[in-house]
Chain A
């Protein structure tokens, strides 16, 4: 177990800079998820930590020790790859024992650790099989087993669930989280899937174009996104955002957008051009005649909740589409008119120029 620190990390391929001075700390035993759209640099950052990519600038520390010049094998880390990367000519047991074999561990220790890891992951009946004889989920578990056997300071996961089908992904997600709670090994996990990030992380690092947009616990990011990018990236269905003008006077505020007045939290200067955001789950349907009118386009019942796609501001000339999620079932039909109630405390206001949170 160990802490990890990134100090002003930069990465460039030739003249193209892909990571621009990233710095943050990961505490001992923490489960940190790096999340962002593809090309944001999250995998590159992980691979630099693993020693598979050279570090162009800055320092990476594991347990307070700079590891920039250390070989992968000397960093005491274990990595689970998206493609599993199992040795195809070795059985499950041999795959898991490989790192110990390289370190010339004696047979008793090797067997004990392989068996222990196999038990944790329910792999004991498969130890003599070859990777080609396993299903995708089993291979992924072997890859994790190979990491566990090492008992490393840090676990690295590079999009480990991307190749699994949706159902298995959810199951493995829980398995990885349970594993972390049991082993308490510091873990860095890369994914592009914000749901994976939200469900698994102690803290999430949201990356975009080689910089960090925000670091925080899942709920911090969800409740108070620091900027428009994080607001739209985190949460599913994603946040409704409209452009408007902030009106602030006498201890109350609203945003003029789509021909309506949207209640907003106090903060920011009157007349500022802003993006107004509200999550689909934070909008309630109001009684007729109150709130903001909208026309229903599509109704998508999912059983527990109903998702409505709405058209707003048709009369004002500025149109926009909103998604609203209501709990339970409604008898709303397409082309019906509904009224929306929004509370100021649920709204997010971002500066239209910088994208930064205003209130």
Chain B
């Protein structure tokens, strides 16, 4: 009898979850489905309003990969730019944020918290407002039209949040580990390399992925700071599709689909690192 009641409860719980889950799923998936639909439709049938094209085709992808359209003349180069910039932003942000969080949280550097709070304060100002000062700054350093300008700008934008996240995570590491390592003879750098970083891996993966994807998806700063066709990221190049009156929607969507794949791949590749419990067994809690 009891078992039956339990299972009823389970069913009703499941039903509630489904009731919420299905609309959320549809809400999320429909735009993606549209993207996919356009990408496999021919030029004329793309806007026909059908749920499945009459003659699905991979022609669009061929056009993209072979760079056989005016807008896609530098597709591979721009994809490479996106990749290079995203990876550089991820790596540099990770380096900046990890060392900063270590100094603030573990070495308790004087004024560290103030620096972090000031950095976080920049988020009160929308990134769009900072674009012009950033443009000026890059101009002053002669970095305009250089891919490094976008890298530096994105590192600046991503770092405060990453420092904050890593600081919160490293505050949770047992303090005794630092003391034990100091007594064992570790210098601050050895402590960082041999104890701190290995224990922070899950947070580092999360933060690095965040910075990388932020740069991968960035449009505004790329649009402002880069202007040569061969320097552009694919995100900005995609935006340029809209410059024409009769945009090739099906090519835009096919390229967009391709552009969305690496983030998905990154997410699945790194998902398994983003787990807690790495410090299990360090101290009795």
Interface residues of A in 46-92 (CB under 8 A from B): 50-52, 71-73, 77-79, 81-89
**Contact between chains at B182 and A87 (CB < 8 Å):** no
Given A83-B174, A85-B174, also A73-B280 (CB < 8 A): no
Considering the complex, give the chain B residue whose CB is closest to the CB of A149.
B184
- Considering the chains assembled together, what is the distance between the CA atoms of A93 and B106 in angstroms? 26
Chain B nearest CB, measured from A272 CB (Å): 49
Query: B246: CB under 8 A from chain A?
Result: no
**Contact between chains at B176 and A88 (CB < 8 Å):** no
- Considering the chains assembled together, what is the distance between the CA atoms of A146 and B180 in angstroms? 10
Q: How many A residues touch B, CB cutoff 8 Å?
A: 32
Q: Which of A19-27, A132-140, A237-245 contacts B (4 or more CB under 8 A)?
A: A132-140
Top-4 shortest CB links A-B: A132-B281, A131-B281, A83-B283, A85-B176
Chain A nearest CB, measured from B39 CB (Å): 44
**Contact between chains at A131 and B282 (CB < 8 Å):** yes
Given A52-B179, A83-B174, also A136-B284 (CB < 8 A): yes
* A residues at B contact (CB < 8 Å): 50-52, 71-73, 77-79, 81-89, 98-99, 102-103, 130-134, 136, 139, 146, 150, 163
**Contact between chains at B179 and A81 (CB < 8 Å):** yes
Q: Kindly identify which residue among B177, B184, B187, B279 contacts A146, using a CB–CB cutoff of 8 Å.
A: B184
A sample of 6 inter-chain contacts (CB < 8 A) reads A77-B183, A78-B183, A83-B282, A87-B195, A102-B185, A146-B180
B-chain residues with CB within 8 Å of residue A72 when the two chains form the complex = 179, 182-183
**Contact between chains at B185 and A99 (CB < 8 Å):** yes
**Contact between chains at A87 and B282 (CB < 8 Å):** yes
A-chain residues with CB within 8 Å of residue B190 when the two chains form the complex = 102
- Considering the chains assembled together, what is the distance between the CA atoms of A139 and B279 in angstroms? 14
> Chain B 245-285, CB within 8 Å of chain A: the 1/0 string?
00000000000000000000000000000000011111111
Considering the complex, give the chain A residue whose CB is closest to the CB of B195.
A87
A-chain residues with CB within 8 Å of residue B56 when the two chains form the complex = none
A-chain residues with CB within 8 Å of residue B194 when the two chains form the complex = 98, 102
A-chain residues with CB within 8 Å of residue B187 when the two chains form the complex = 73
**Contact between chains at B184 and A81 (CB < 8 Å):** no
A-chain residues with CB within 8 Å of residue B183 when the two chains form the complex = 50-52, 72-73, 77-79
